[in-house]
Structure 1
């Protein structure tokens, strides 16, 4: 079963096409990386799929149904730069935001929900910071809190925009281990990513993008120097793990 199908998606800003006829599929129970140079439209693509920016043409299916019918099945972790870190909210409240669809209207948040949110913070090693205002956390700690919010959403599909940016090595390792556990549980994770050296380790599928689809498929089949050069243009220096993967 396909977790995501994108059909000929285009996005246009002020008469200029930012994305053109992007098409790709993501199988259920996979970790897929969206890879491309700066300005390739990676974040715009993710936002367009999620309905956060208007699509000029094309369509999106989630679990083989139109996105509009399935949007509640998607969890989203935005780029850190898009979050107002000065907003007066603590770590526990951020995680509780992931549970809002389970709350009863006009009722106080139950102790059960607060305990559940605390359990997610504990899972990612942040329970001691539950009452800490998010602006007082380090970049890695902030990203862990948003990962806990994603856990609280408990959706079958997760979109993450540059989740490893600005985090320490220990946090990145913890995050990818958790995502691989999600995959083992049948969930699907789709990540905008920029570090070519970790692509083969982190992702079983990749979309190589530069305003249009360059190629998409299993990492072992499509992530090789020829396709990477087509995506980035010019001549690149590849680490040995990639250079040895040429066709």
Structure 2
């Protein structure tokens, strides 16, 4: 079964098209990178699938059913820049928010939820920061807290928006290990990603996007110089297995 099916998705901002006629199917148990230049609509794609922003057209199915019927199967890690890090709360409370879908928004977490949240913080190396205010954490530490929140959601399909942006090497490795663990468990992960040099190592499927899909499929088939040039509209240099945009034009 496909974990996610997107059909004829279009999104506009102030009547300007951001996404047009986007359609693809994500197989269950895959790790998919969403790749494209700035302004390509990558984050917009995630938000529209998650019903966080309105769409002009489009049909979204999660495991064959409408999103609203399957939302408890979904975990989401937003961009760090979209989070109010000055909000007066600590790391443990942020992780506990990931359990609200299971216990209800207005019910107090019980010992089970607190234990799960602490265990998740331990898995991402943040157990000693449980009571630390989130504004006092480094960028990498903040991202690890959000990973712990995703862990306790116990979702079947995860959406991650630029999870590697601005983090240190140790945090990037921790994120990658977690995503590989989810894949091993048969879960599905979609990741907005910008570093072309790690695509082949990180993802088994790739969606190349520039407002409309350029190509989608297994990484070895899709992640080619020709497709990257079509996606970025400029010259691409391959360095060994990796690719790097060396010029954008037009």
TM-score, normalised on structure 2?
A: 0.94
Q: Which residue of 2 aligns with 1:135?
A: 135
Q: Which residue of 1 aligns with 2:189?
A: 189
| Number of residue equivalences | 243
Aligned partners of 2:57, 2:206: CA distance in 1, in Å?
23
Q: Which residue of 2 aligns with 1:22?
A: 22
Aligned ranges for residues 154-193 of structure 1 at < 5 Å? 154-193=154-193
Instruction: Please state how far the C-alpha of 1:18 moved relative to its aligned partner.
Output: 0.7
CA contact (8 A) 2:198 2:242 kept: no
Q: Which residue of 2 aligns with 1:102?
A: 102
Residues 13 and 104 from structure 1, CA distance in 2 versus in 1: closer, same or farther, beyond 3 angstroms? closer
Q: Which residue of 1 aligns with 2:117?
A: 117
Q: Which residue of 2 aligns with 1:223?
A: 223
Aligned partners of 1:88, 1:146: CA distance in 2, in Å?
16
Instruction: Please state how far the C-alpha of 1:15 moved relative to its aligned partner.
Output: 1.5
CA contact (8 A) 2:2 2:64 kept: yes
Instruction: Please state how far the C-alpha of 1:33 moved relative to its aligned partner.
Output: 0.5
Residues 132 and 105 from structure 1, CA distance in 2 versus in 1: closer, same or farther, beyond 3 angstroms? closer
Provide structure 1 residue ranges, at least 5 long, that are not aligned to the other structure.
Answer: none
Aligned partners of 2:235, 2:108: CA distance in 1, in Å?
58
Instruction: Please state how far the C-alpha of 1:112 moved relative to its aligned partner.
Output: 2.3
CA RMSD in angstroms, aligned pairs only:
1.2
Instruction: Please state how far the C-alpha of 1:106 moved relative to its aligned partner.
Output: 5.9
Provide structure 2 residue ranges, at least 5 long, that are not aligned to the other structure.
Answer: 244-250
Instruction: Please state how far the C-alpha of 1:104 moved relative to its aligned partner.
Output: 5.9
Q: Which residue of 2 aligns with 1:91?
A: 91
Residues 104 and 10 from structure 1, CA distance in 2 versus in 1: closer, same or farther, beyond 3 angstroms? closer
Q: Which residue of 2 aligns with 1:77?
A: 77
Aligned partners of 1:157, 1:172: CA distance in 2, in Å?
20
Q: SS of the counterpart of 1:118?
A: helix
TM-score, normalised on structure 1?
A: 0.95
